[in-house]
Amino acid sequence: MRLDDFDYSDVLYALNELRQDFIYEKIPKEKIPSILEMSLEVGQKNGMKYRHTDIKEAIKNANINVLFSDKSGTFFKTRYRAQMELSDKKRQIIIYRPSIKEFLDLVHKQQINVLSENEIIRIHLAHEFFHFIEVDTDQKVNELVGNIKYREGLFSHHSTILKTSEIGAHMFAKTALGLSTFPTYYDFQYLIGKGMMTNQSFDEYLHDLDDELKHIMNIQHVLN
């Protein structure tokens, strides 16, 4: 599969995710297309297997418990809508209802009833389920993509790119649930609803992202 085979907006949102990785600046630009491609592909391939299965059933069959919590899901300043708990004794996904509700309210400030509560919960369940699949199949996306080596001062480091796993999880949710858009789109709608971004700054951001993606693709074409 090639990067061109994916919806352009999926690639764009995948790049948005990658840009938020703490080692993004250390990744050689010419490697980015194949990193995006691999991450999207793992998510999509796994997602295809669940297209005709109810995601709640699939989670149950994988021995994962779903807990609906009335806690806010706030951890320091980050407000979680869902989390996974995985240990020798526990396989659980927690859905924080108040955070889901706040999210929905703000998304709906932008677009009326674009998603139901059930749909938004399914997106979060699918996302977390993908992280279980990564562990259960011993195929974590960040490990498949591999290490990035870089120097900082006198020291050389190597690190995996954790955000590749997030790209996989979003693409998994999109594919398994047959969503029309990459789930990150709703995060932006939420930020706009919250007043942390305007529609205009969102458009500008997408435009910048698009420029960056085209620039990166050009580097790759020149190299090939």
Residue pair 66/188 in contact by the 8 Å Cβ criterion = no
Phi, psi of 91 (to 5 degrees): -130, 100
Give the x/- contact pattern for Zn ion in 102-141, rule: CB under 5 A: ----------------------------------------
CB atoms within 10 A of CB 99: 19
| Shortest Cβ 34–Zn ion spacing (Å) | 21
| Shortest Cβ 118–Zn ion spacing (Å) | 20
Give the x/- contact pattern for Zn ion in 42-61, rule: CB under 5 A: --------------------
Which is nearer to Zn ion, 144 or 217 (by Cβ)? 144
Phi, psi of 117 (to 5 degrees): -60, -40
| Shortest Cβ 219–Zn ion spacing (Å) | 29
| Shortest Cβ 82–Zn ion spacing (Å) | 8
Rounded to whole angstroms, how far apart are CA atoms 10 and 6?
7
| Shortest Cβ 84–Zn ion spacing (Å) | 8
Element (H, E) at 10: helix 8-19
Residue pair 47/129 in contact by the 8 Å Cβ criterion = no
Rounded to whole angstroms, how far apart are CA atoms 196 and 105?
15
Q: Which stretch binds Zn ion (CB under 5 A): 31-39, 140-148, 160-168, 213-221?
A: 160-168
Which is nearer to Zn ion, 37 or 166 (by Cβ)? 166
Q: Which of 187, 188, 180 is nearest to 10 (CA)?
A: 180
Which is nearer to Zn ion, 139 or 198 (by Cβ)? 139
Rounded to whole angstroms, how far apart are CA atoms 107 and 4?
30
Position with the least CB separation from Zn ion: 169
Q: How many residues bind Zn ion (CB under 5 A)?
A: 2
Dihedral sign, Cα of residue 50, residue 104, residue 165, residue 203: positive
Give the x/- contact pattern for Zn ion in 161-180, rule: CB under 5 A: -----x--x-----------
Which residues of this chain interact with Zn ion, rule CB under 5 A? Answer: 166, 169
